[in-house]
Amino acid sequence: MSFQRMKNVSGSHKEGFTRVFLIGAGKGGKAVLTRLLRFNWVQIVGVSDLNEQAPGILLAQEAGLPVFIGDPLQFLQGLDVDLTFDLTGDHLMHTRLLNLPSRSFDVVTGAVSYLLWSVIQELEEQEIQLRAHLGEHRVLLEINQMLSRSETSEQIFEAIVMGGIRMTGMPAGSLSIFDKEKQQLFLVAAKGFSSEFFKNPVYSVRPGGLTEHILSRNEPVLIPNIAEFPSFNNPVLLKEGIRSLIAVPLLSEKGPVGILYNDDFKSRTFTSSMLEVLRRLATLAVIAIQKQQALEEIKSLSIRDPLTAMYNRRYLSEILAAEMDRAFRLHRPLSLLLIDIDHFKAVNDRYGHVVGDQVLHGLAKLFALIIRPYDTIARYGGEEFILLMSETDAEEALAVAERLREATASEKLLPEEAVLTCSFGIGMLKPDETRLPTPEELIQRADKALYEAKRAGRNRVHVFRDDSAASPSRTENN
């Protein structure tokens, strides 16, 4: 492919898409490409391999995608890319990608790339095995197709519930997802119930209770007549008038995923064929849920910094512009906090880059515990972070910054007795502004305040003011 064509590909970027480039088009590359082609938020800008007959190259050509035969780094320089998957397993390629000068895209490589490929490959193999046994079950096949077409978790959950209702002929059903860490179930979809049913979507697994019994079994739990089942004490279902149910545990190799309930308002008997198709639906449901979780993880990687798990700079740019526009239109305050680690170069020089990475990771975890759940924090540069705070004036932003500053100085993040500190600069979009500044201008306001904090001695917070460079807050000498 010529360089001229590569420039044409770069120019075809669609707004709102994640632009993906795949390196390595063997079996794993083909599996990843097959999955990514199903999602309308992904734009494949190129597939590269040294072998022009590689399976992924042939698939890309069938799909009308750009293919590149040769050194992928040569082609990448002419493309506009957000996320690059390295599926070669080549350590040299891994190193070259990460050290590529002026790299503006994120890279999924090494162990992460292998993990995601393995998950997708395993799910592909499980689907193939299951499809071989679904010839006599047309309804199951239709449900499976519906699950495959679903692009969101909500669509998948609803398809699973409707599948159970269709196969059993029961008028109601629900799906709850299990959180092992919290030992709780979360109601995610339901059909056939009143609005009251949805008022308590979270419930705990009680030791010795019916829910724990269901999750511990490999088979559906049948209750043909609730009146004859004295240990049944679910007040929500009783209030709904449920008289019989089937509870199908959704189990993966790692443990329970959730429970699919099928309910009736009268007592009834259950046939062995009904139980068999429910077992198969349960398997399909687990595969669909795990597949969606894997793909959501891939999407998350395109907007997350791999070291800190914070949002990356590209995602911040998108959300910052939108939040500034909203605040300006509604005449609401917005604050942006620019954070810089003091003397971070000295940390790397003295303790090494491994410790430096551990500091960044530890600081990100510390910040996550302190910031408000509705704020957005991103890694802006090497040792710089940006905290975006909507509906927040200077006084509130200053309080948040002080909590972060004090927590950083108090946390044991460095070896020996060394203390790590940060400096903070606050830029604001005020409700009475007559002109909407650009995101770059807002960041410059925070940067000027940060400069003043550094110049004043570090380990302090400064707020940008229009009438002066910045005004200081309470500070402590570093």
Q: DSSP of 275-316, one letter per residue?
A: HHHHHHHHHHHHHHHHHHHHHHHHHHHHHB-TTT-SB-HHHH
User: Looking at residue 5, what is its pLDDT?
Assistant: 31
pLDDT tens profile 66-79: 999 999 998 888 78
- Sequence-distant (6+) residues with CB within 8 A of 120 are 31, 32, 35, 291, 294
Confidence (pLDDT) at 129: 62
Q: Is the pLDDT of residue 20 over 60?
A: yes
Residues sharing a CB contact under 8 Å with residue 320, sequence separation 6 or more, in sequence order: 336, 388, 439, 442
**7: pLDDT strictly greater than 80:** no
Residues in the chain: 478
Q: Which of 127, 158, 323, 383 is catalytic?
A: 383
Q: What angle do CA 54, 66, 147 make, to 5 degrees?
A: 75
Angle 437-442-445 from CA coordinates, rounded to 5°:
125
Q: What is the pLDDT of residue 1?
A: 33
- Provide CATH code, domain 3-109: 3.40.50.720
Is it the case that residue 258 has pLDDT exceeding 70?
A: yes
In CATH, which of 3.30.413.10, 3.30.1370.60, 3.30.1050.10, 3.30.70.270 is domain 313-475?
Answer: 3.30.70.270
CA distance 408 to 320: 25
| Stated pTM of the model | 0.45
CA–CA dist 276, 281 (Å, integer)? 9
Confidence check: pLDDT of 296 > 80: no
Q: What is the pLDDT of residues 454-473, one digit of tens each?
A: 999 999 999 998 754 445 55
Identify whether the C-beta of residue 26 lies closer than 8 Å to the C-beta of residue 49.
yes
Average of per-residue pLDDT values in the chain: 85
pLDDT of residue 133: 54
Dump strand ranges (E) for 35-165. Answer: 42-49, 67-69, 83-86, 106-108
Q: In the structure, what pLDDT confidence band is assigned to residue 118 with cuts at 50, 70 and 90?
A: confident
Which tens digit of pLDDT belongs to each residue from 324-344? 999 999 999 999 999 999 999
Quote the CA–CA distance of 13 and 78 in Å, as a whole number: 13
Q: What is the residue extent of each domain of the chain? A: 3-109, 133-300, 313-475
- Known active-site residue 383: yes
Cα–Cα distance between 320 and 442 in angstroms, integer? 10
What pLDDT score does 51 carry?
Answer: 95
**Pair 284, 143: CB distance under 8 Å:** yes
Cβ contact 281:297 at 8 Å? no
**Pair 371, 377: CB distance under 8 Å:** yes
Query: What per-residue confidence (pLDDT) applies to 14?
Result: 56
Q: Which residues contact 230 (CB under 8 A, 6 or more apart)?
A: none
Q: What is the mean pLDDT of residues 156-166?
A: 89
Q: What is the pLDDT of residue 10?
A: 40
User: In the beta sheet, which residues pair with residue 22?
Assistant: 47, 85
Q: Which is it for strands 384-390 and 422-429: parallel, antiparallel or unpaired?
A: unpaired
Is residue 375 within 8 A of residue 387, CB to CB? The reply is yes
Rounded CA separation 118/272 (Å): 35
Neighbours of 236 (CB within 10 A): 15
**Is the fold of 3-109 the same as that of 313-475?**
no
Of 195-199, 382-386, 411-415, 434-438, minimum mean pLDDT range: 195-199
**Is the CB of residue 174 less than 8 Å from the CB of residue 161?**
yes
Q: How far is CA 214 from CA 34, 100, 183, 198, 284, in A?
A: 36, 52, 14, 21, 19
Distance CA 452, CA 462 (A): 7
φ, ψ for residue 51 (rounded to 5)? Answer: -105, 115
- At residue 168, the pLDDT reads 86
Tell me, what's the pLDDT at 134? 57
- Backbone phi, then psi, for 389, in 5-degree steps? -125, 100
Q: What would the pLDDT profile of 27-52 be if each residue is shown by its tens digit?
A: 888 988 988 898 888 899 999 999 99
CATH number of 133-300: 3.30.450.40
Whether 419 shows a pLDDT value over 60: the answer reads: yes
